[in-house]
Amino acid sequence: AEPLGADAGERVLEARGRHLLPGAVDAHVHFREPGGGHKETWTSGSESAAAGGVTTVVDQPNTSPPTVDGAAFDEKAALAAESLVDYGINGGVTEEWDPKSLFERPLFALGEVFLADSTGDMGIDADLFADALDAAAARDVPVTVHAEDATLFDESALDGDLGG
């Protein structure tokens, strides 16, 4: 086969004898915006991702505000526009979630659904979890779960036994 030439403005790299890998996908990032940009922003997080060969990221919903309704999704999406890599945004579930407005957005998944308050106050009970699963299934939206037993988690915290 004859080699392809470069189009105007493109640069051709000689790759003979080298290993080429596709860009990686990191399906679990916490780019802390909105609400925690002092920890990490979409710009800083995506720069780090790109430097490490990651070309696609999926951000989790436990920001401030949490991504549990359309307005919060829109706020995060506006910040995500600064990303240097491709991205998806997960929607979350709390007692205050609004599935109607959330599912109108281009969610990657309903994800990191928390079954205990291990990282803040996003833990939900079994009934709300079942409702969330039904809502996601009706729309063919994947669900990822931060699977933990809230009762055991709470008992361990009270006893001071955090596994250390």
**Region 127-132: what's the mean pLDDT?**
96
Please give the model's pTM, rounded to 2 decimal places: 0.82
Q: What contacts 35, CB < 8 A, 6 or more positions away?
A: 63, 64, 65
Percent of the chain clearing pLDDT 90 (strictly above): 71
* Structure confidence at residue 159 (pLDDT): 65
Return the DSSP state at 28. Answer: E
3-state helix, strand, coil in the chain (%, to 5): 30, 15, 55
- Cβ count near 150 (within 10 Å): 16
* Structure confidence at residue 47 (pLDDT): 98
Residues 69-119 have pLDDT tens digits of 999 999 999 999 999 999 999 999 999 999 999 999 999 999 889 988 877
d(CA 22, CA 14): 17
Q: At 160, is the pLDDT very low, low, confident or very high (cuts 50, 70, 90)?
A: low
Amino acid at 9: G
d(CA 100, CA 120): 24
Return the DSSP state at 96. Answer: T
Pairing of strands 110-114, 54-59: unpaired
How confident is the prediction for the chain on average, in pLDDT? 91
Q: At 26, is the pLDDT very low, low, confident or very high (cuts 50, 70, 90)?
A: very high
Q: Where are the alpha helices (DSSP H) in 52-149?
A: 70-80, 99-103, 126-138
CATH, range 24-159: 3.20.20.140
- Of the candidates 107, 106, 97, 105, the one whose C-alpha atom is nearest the C-alpha of residue 131 is 97
* Structure confidence at residue 157 (pLDDT): 62
